Amino acid sequence: MVLAITFLVIYSKNKEMNITSDDWFNLIAEKLSDCSYARLYLRSFDHPDEFREEHRKNLMKIISLIADKIRSGADIKIVSYAPSSKNKTGYNWVQSELGTNFSVDDYITVIQNQPVSNSTSMYLFDDKSVAYNKKINGKNTYHIENYSNSIIHTLIANGLDSLKGAKA
């Protein structure tokens, strides 16, 4: 009987980690607005002109929060993938939004080659939570997990920091 209860609790916790895209984007915006430290790997850091309509409002809130965090000097680092330097990206929007007074290069690195085949974006926050999405069988899933009292958050952050110098 105890094993069955434990299984149900674990199953229930895992079930809660897979959330809707709207809930996921809202959670990221909430965590970004409250954090003083964040590390992001963005599979696609799109320029607002390229935002898909169904996510436009949420993505605009997130990219605006990123600009606000940079403006306030928060400890935020972003590694962003863009296959071509000819494409406008979120980097371009943030730089335009902040003007010439800010060196966006101190906060955002754009790489043209991903280190591995990838369909995931990931956000690490100072409360030791990790939000990520991934594509499984052609369908996006959205997750958030807390890694307090675990080395996992630190290992991910160190890996992201090592990509910062990996401009292609």
Domain count, the chain: 1
pLDDT digits (tens, 9 = 90+) for 49-97: 988 898 899 999 999 999 999 999 999 999 998 887 777 899 999 999 9
Residue 168 counted as domain residue: no
Residues 142 and 18: beta-carbon distance below 8 Å: yes
- Structural domain contains residue 19: yes
Residue 85 lies in a domain: yes
Question: Residue 11: is it exposed, middle or buried by C-beta count within 10 angstroms (0-12/13-18/19+)?
Answer: exposed
pLDDT of 10 above 50: no
Q: What is the DSSP letter of 84?
A: -
Residue 64, pLDDT score: 96
Q: Residue 106 falls within a domain, yes or no?
A: yes
Give the residue, 128 or 161, on which the prediction is more confident.
Answer: 128
Residue 44 lies in a domain: yes
Whether 168 shows a pLDDT value over 80: the answer reads no
pLDDT at 3: 36
Res. 14 pLDDT band, cuts 50 70 90: very low
Q: What pLDDT score does 165 carry?
A: 55
pLDDT recorded at residue 167: 41
Using one digit for the tens of pLDDT, what is the confidence trace for 103-145?
899 999 988 887 777 788 999 999 999 999 988 888 889 999 9
- Looking at residue 1, what is its pLDDT? 35
Q: How confident is the model at residue 18 (pLDDT cuts 50, 70, 90)?
A: low
* H/E run at residue 144: strand 139-146
Provide the residue range defining the domain that includes 65. 2-163
Give long-range contacts, CB 8 A cutoff, 24+ apart: 51-59: 54/21, 55/21, 55/25, 58/22, 58/25, 58/26, 58/29, 59/25
Within a domain: 9: yes
DSSP structure string for 124-139: EETTSEEEEEEEETTE
Q: What is the pLDDT of residues 149-160, one digit of tens each?
A: 888 888 888 887
Q: Is residue 159 part of a domain?
A: yes
Q: For the residues of 15-62, what is the DSSP string, one character each?
A: HHHEE-HHHHHHHHHHHHHH-SEEEEEES--B-GGG--GGGHHHHHHH
Q: 90-126 b/e with 16+ CB inside 10 Å = b?
A: bbbbbbebbeeebebeebbbbbeebeeeeeebbbbbe
Instruction: Enter the pTM of the model.
Output: 0.80
Residue 49 lies in a domain: yes
| CATH code for position 127 | 3.30.870.10
